[in-house]
Amino acid sequence: MKTALITGASSGIGLEFAKIFAAAKNNLVLVARSEDKLLALAGELQNKYGIDVKVIAADLSKMDEVQKVFDTCKAGNIQIEYLINNAGFGDFCLFADSDWNKTEQMIDLNIKSLTKMCRLFIPGMVERKSGKVLNVASTAAFQPGPTMAVYFATKSYVLFFSEAIYSELKGTGVNVTCLCPGATESGFMNAAALQESNLFKNKKTATAAEVAAFGYKAMMKNKMTVIHGLLNYIMANAVRFAPRKVVLAISKKVMGNPV
């Protein structure tokens, strides 16, 4: 039985990934800050599917906690076949008004943590000539984002980093998929205070379950970069052909202004 490690597994897309991998009879390592939520989910999935589920409560914005996840797996002789780097958050506000501590935590979680998780787990996959990584970016990765400047920039990093190591790992038996969802109904929306942004207000958005199912299929097919939703796909690719200032103006209108 193979094992999938999923970060940000207590809610939203991460929780849905956990359900999908469990239904496919994979053992799980679930990582998030909320131990209570993880334990409840672990009990549910173990009872339903007869799999082993390891829970690791960790704040992945702290690099020693990232190391703890790897060390715990190593000590338990848990071999990770699927690495799902889903943990991340955003903040809907003008950069000049932003809370620096929150901004720094966002950079640490969205960029440093994801990069370190890859660096820790990928060498073992290469050695075994088998493994799949899925990094969750966003359609935000394709253009700058006024009112979410740092978040959009972090997701651009995730996209470019993922595509680069996808290329580096060609022929090793290890694949990297970058999943780029658009607006999604999940805990992310509330955490980023996005309810009143034009991106979500009065719009039908994808569910976390739909996005996770889409990402899972893409990962299993060894796709490199996938964008969920036809309209999202068209918009993400259209920005390559428009003048930068036009792209910026459209992005600003789509996001709207923080309250």
Which pLDDT tens digit goes with each residue over 53-107? 999 999 999 999 999 999 999 999 999 999 999 999 999 999 999 999 999 999 9
Residue 135, φ and ψ in degrees, nearest 5: -105, 125
Domains of the chain plus CATH, in order, are: 3-255 (3.40.50.720)
Helix (H) or strand (E) holding 188: helix 187-191
Q: From the first residue on, what is the mean pLDDT of each consecutive set of 10 residues in the chain (259 residues)?
A: 97 97 98 96 97 98 98 98 97 96 98 98 98 97 95 98 98 98 75 52 80 98 95 83 80 80
Contact 244, 137 (CB under 8 A): no
Q: Which residues are catalytic?
A: 151
Helix (H, G, I), strand (E, B) or coil at 106: helix
Q: What is the distance between the alpha carbons of residues 222 and 247, in angstroms, rounded to a whole number? A: 30
- pLDDT score recorded for residue 237: 84
Beta bridge partners of 28: 4, 53
Distance between start and end Cα atoms, the chain? 49
Dihedral (CA of 210, 213, 215, 221) sign: negative
